[in-house]
Structure 1
Amino acid sequence: MTDGTAPGKDRQAAILVLMAVQGFCAAFFLFDATTDLLTNPDSLFQGPHMMLELVATLGLIAGIAFEGAYLVRLLRRQAHVERALSVASGALHDVMESYFEQWQLTPAEADVAQFTIKGCSIAEIAELRGSAEATVKTHLNAIYRKAGLRGRAQLVNLLIEELLGGRIAQRES
């Protein structure tokens, strides 16, 4: 989006506009049917037109009610997911910092470890840090040695397991 709004907000607005249009149509049909019934009370039973109009209006009103309930459900779910993501993001940062302190990583090693956990390649880390790939490899070897891990997969797995509430048993050297 070029205006900085979230795609979910655009969808919510579109659904609300659709519901407003449907509400206007339902009000129009309901007004029309009421007017027809008031001017000719027998028109309800004289042909399919009036019954079809009433059924269509009731269907439109039911659709609006369903869309409203569904939108509320989606908004609640979105809020729940955003809260969970925020908690997980903060928790991951806290877990990482805790391990980095425990392993006594230097600031440069902690920086490389963070990029590694985010999934960056050695070349990407070197570019982001403005250093040589050999330097990044040296930092990674020091991280794995201090942590007692054998590689990137174990490092990421350790943090994920910690977030999920369990410890991995692969910490043997």
Structure 2
Amino acid sequence: MHMTQEAIVCVFALSLLLMLFLNTRAQARRNDQLLLELEQAKVHSAQASKELVSAKRIFGDEILKQFSIWGFTESESDIALFTLKGFSAKEIADYRNASEKTVRNQLTSVYKKSEMTSKVAFIAWFMEGLI
């Protein structure tokens, strides 16, 4: 009777060890699969980053072309870029070491040359094709 109980316990213990071994192997395979997926995601992310940098450069070039078409001066182009980036007239003036009035006058010229009525309209003109 005692030998039978020990045999049952031994079989049970061996069964648990086998299940643990099989589970460990399955987890190792899953980890390998996840590592492969991670590497693929890194490659995809790097490619997407390159494409984003390229798109930003192309968009920037197109913005500058449009500024040229509108006949902006170099200062107006700078002011317009800061405006597209969301800076206020005061922030632009501080950055450029200019008076806020000068920046506002240049913004008025930018809006007039581009035939826009406001900062919002000016920014929206560039954003329209992106959304």
Identity %: 25
CA distance in 1 between counterparts of 2:44 and 2:123 reads 28
User: In the alignment, which of 58, 68, 93 is matched to residue 35 of structure 2?
Assistant: 68
Which residue in 1 is equivalent to 2:126?
A: 159
1:144 aligns with 2:111: yes
State the one-letter code of the partner of 2:66.
Answer: Y
Query: Any idea what the Cα deviations from partners look like across 1:23-55, whole Å, max 9, x if unmatched?
Result: xxxxxxxxxxxxxxxxxxxx9986223213322
1:135 aligns with 2:98: no
State the one-letter code of the partner of 2:16.
Answer: H
Displacement, 1:97? 0.9
CA distance in 1 between counterparts of 2:13 and 2:55 reads 64
User: In the alignment, which of 73, 91, 98 is matched to residue 65 of structure 2?
Assistant: 98
Which residue in 1 is equivalent to 2:5?
A: none
Pair 48,125 (structure 1): closer, same or farther in 2 beyond 3 Å: same
Which residue in 1 is equivalent to 2:46?
A: 79
Which residue in 2 is equivalent to 1:27?
A: none
> What stretches of structure 2 of length at least 5 have no aligned partner?
1-9
Which stretch of structure 1 is more off in the superposition, 63-72 or 93-102?
63-72
Which has more radius of gyration? Answer: 2
Pair 150,55 (structure 1): closer, same or farther in 2 beyond 3 Å: same
8 Å CA contact 1:115–1:125 kept in 2: the answer is yes
Secondary structure of the 2:128 match is helix
User: In the alignment, which of 110, 113, 123 is matched to residue 80 of structure 2?
Assistant: 113
Displacement, 1:155? 1.9
Q: What RMSD over aligned residues (CA atoms) do the two structures have, in Å?
A: 2.3
Secondary structure of the 1:47 match is helix
Pair 77,97 (structure 1): closer, same or farther in 2 beyond 3 Å: same
